[in-house]
A and B are shown apart, each in its own frame.
Chain A
Amino acid sequence: MNLTLKIWRQKDSNAKGQMVDYKVTDISEHMSFLEMMDVLNEQLVNSGEEPVAFDHDCREGICGMCSMYINGEAHGPDRGITTCQLHMRMFKDGDTITIEPFRAAAFPVIKDLVVDRMAFERIQQAGGYISVNTSGNTQDANNLPISKHAADEAMDAATCIGCGACVATCKNSSAMLFVGAKVSQYALLPQGQVEAADRVQNMVAQMDLEGFGNCTNTGACEVECPKGISLDNIARMNRELMKAAIK
Chain B
Amino acid sequence: MATLDSKVPKGPIQDKWTDYKNHINLVNPANKRHIDIIVVGTGLAGGSAAATLAELGYNVKAFAYQDSPRRAHSIAAQGGINAAKNYQGDGDSTYRLFYDTVKGGDYRSREANVYRLAEVSSNIIDQCVAQGVPFARDYGGLLDNRSFGGVLVSRTFYAKGQTGQQLLLGAYSAMNRQIARGKIEMFNRHEMLDVVKVDGKARGIIARNLITGEIERHSAHAVVIATGGYGNVYFLSTNAMGSNVTASWKIHKKGAFFANPCYTQIHPTCIPRSGDYQSKLTLMSESLRNDGRIWVPKNLEDVKAIREGRKKPTDLSEDERDYYLERRYPAFGNLVPRDVASRAAKERCDAGYGVNATGEAVYLDFAAAIERYGKEQAKIHNIDNASEAKIYELGQAIVEAKYGNLFQMYEKIVDQNPYETPMMIYPAVHYTMGGVWVDYNLMTTVPGLYCIGEANFSDHGANRLGASALMQGLADGYFVLPYTIGDYLSDDIRTGKISTDTKEFEEAEKEVKDKIEFFVTNKGTKSVDYFHKKLGKVMWDKCGMSRNEKGLKEAMVEIKAIREEFWKEVSVPGNSNEMNPELEKAGRVADFLELGELFAKDALTREESCGGHFREESAELDGPQKGEAKRNDKDFAFVSAWEYKGEPADAVLHKEELEFKDIELKQRSYK
Contact = CB atoms under 8 A, between A and B. Distances in A.
Nearest to B571: A45
Contact of B137 (A50, A130, A151): A151
A12 B578 CA distance: 8
Contacts of A42: 527, 529
B418 to A, nearest CB: 16
A141 B85 contact: yes
A82 B249 CA distance: 32
Given A30-B274, A134-B174, A53 B581 contact: yes
B123 A136 contact: yes
A146 B579 contact: no
Given A38-B279, A51-B573, A51-B582, A146 B71 contact: no
A223 interface: no
Contacts of B52: 134
Contact of B176 (A12, A50, A60, A124): A124
B574 interface: yes
Given A114-B579, A191-B132, A57 B73 contact: yes
Given A136-B120, A162-B68, A151 B176 contact: no
Interface string A116-154: 111011001110111111111011111011111001101
Contacts of B72: 63
Contact of A62 (B76, B277, B408, B573): B76
Interface string B139-171: 111110000000000000001101001100100
A32 interface: yes
B633 to A, nearest CB: 35
A55 interface: yes
B67 A159 contact: no
B597 to A, nearest CB: 26
A77 to B, nearest CB: 13
A94 interface: no
A246 interface: no
Contact of B143 (A63, A139, A142): A142
A136 to B, nearest CB: 4
A168 B594 CA distance: 42
Contacts of B66: 57, 63, 65
A223 B431 CA distance: 35
B68 A121 contact: yes
A35 B529 CA distance: 13
A60 B76 contact: yes
Contacts of B125: 141
A195 to B, nearest CB: 10
Interface in B260-307: 274-275, 277-280, 282-283
A31 interface: yes
Interface size grouping (class) on chain B: 35 or more
Contact of A129 (B176, B482, B582): B176
Contact of A134 (B51, B186, B529, B579): B51
A169 to B, nearest CB: 19
A23 interface: no
A45 B578 contact: no
Nearest to B83: A141
Given A45-B582, A60-B76, A138-B130, A155 B176 contact: no
B226 to A, nearest CB: 15
A167 interface: no
A35 B279 CA distance: 6
Contacts of A125: 176-177, 179-180
A61 B165 CA distance: 11
Interface residues of A, number: 79
B162 to A, nearest CB: 6
A61 B120 CA distance: 31
B512 to A, nearest CB: 22
Contacts of A111: 578-579
Contacts of A151: 134-137, 141
B131 interface: yes
B139 A59 contact: no
B204 to A, nearest CB: 25
A35 B241 CA distance: 12
A64 interface: yes
Contacts of B68: 117, 120-121, 162
A142 B328 CA distance: 39
A138 B188 contact: no
Contacts of B278: 35
Given A42-B527, A51-B581, A142-B87, A118 B67 contact: yes
B189 to A, nearest CB: 8
A62 B634 CA distance: 44
B57 to A, nearest CB: 11
Contacts of B120: 136
Contacts of A46: 527, 571
A212 interface: no
B173 A124 contact: yes
Given A145-B141, A146-B137, A57 B180 contact: no
Contacts of B242: 57
Contacts of B126: 136, 138-141
Given A62-B75, A130-B130, A151-B137, A53 B579 contact: yes
A53 B573 CA distance: 12
A141 B143 contact: yes
A211 interface: no
Interface in B89-144: 120, 123, 125-132, 134-143
A158 interface: yes
A30 B275 contact: yes
A136 B138 contact: no
A233 interface: no
A38 B179 contact: no
B94 to A, nearest CB: 14
Nearest to A80: B408
A208 interface: no
B348 interface: no
B456 interface: no
A198 B408 CA distance: 38
B55 A134 contact: yes
Given A136-B120, A159-B162, A59 B173 contact: no
A210 interface: no
A58 interface: yes
B413 A87 contact: yes
- Chain B CB count within 10 A is highest, among A49, A63, A154, for A63
Nearest to A140: B126
18 contacts: A30-B274, A39-B277, A42-B527, A50-B574, A57-B241, A59-B240, A65-B66, A78-B412, A80-B408, A111-B579, A117-B67, A134-B52, A136-B120, A138-B123, A138-B130, A147-B141, A161-B165, A189-B132
Interface of A: 11-12, 28, 30-32, 34-35, 38-39, 42, 44-46, 48-51, 53, 55-65, 78, 80-81, 85, 87, 89, 110-111, 114, 116-118, 120-121, 124-126, 128-136, 138-142, 144-148, 151-152, 154-155, 158-159, 161-162, 185-186, 189, 191-192
Given A55-B67, A62-B76, A142-B142, 9 more contacts: A38-B279, A51-B573, A53-B579, A58-B75, A65-B71, A125-B176, A125-B179, A141-B143, A142-B143
Sorted from nearest, which 9 A-B pairs have the closest CB atoms? Answer: A145-B141, A129-B173, A155-B134, A141-B129, A136-B123, A154-B134, A138-B130, A125-B180, A63-B71
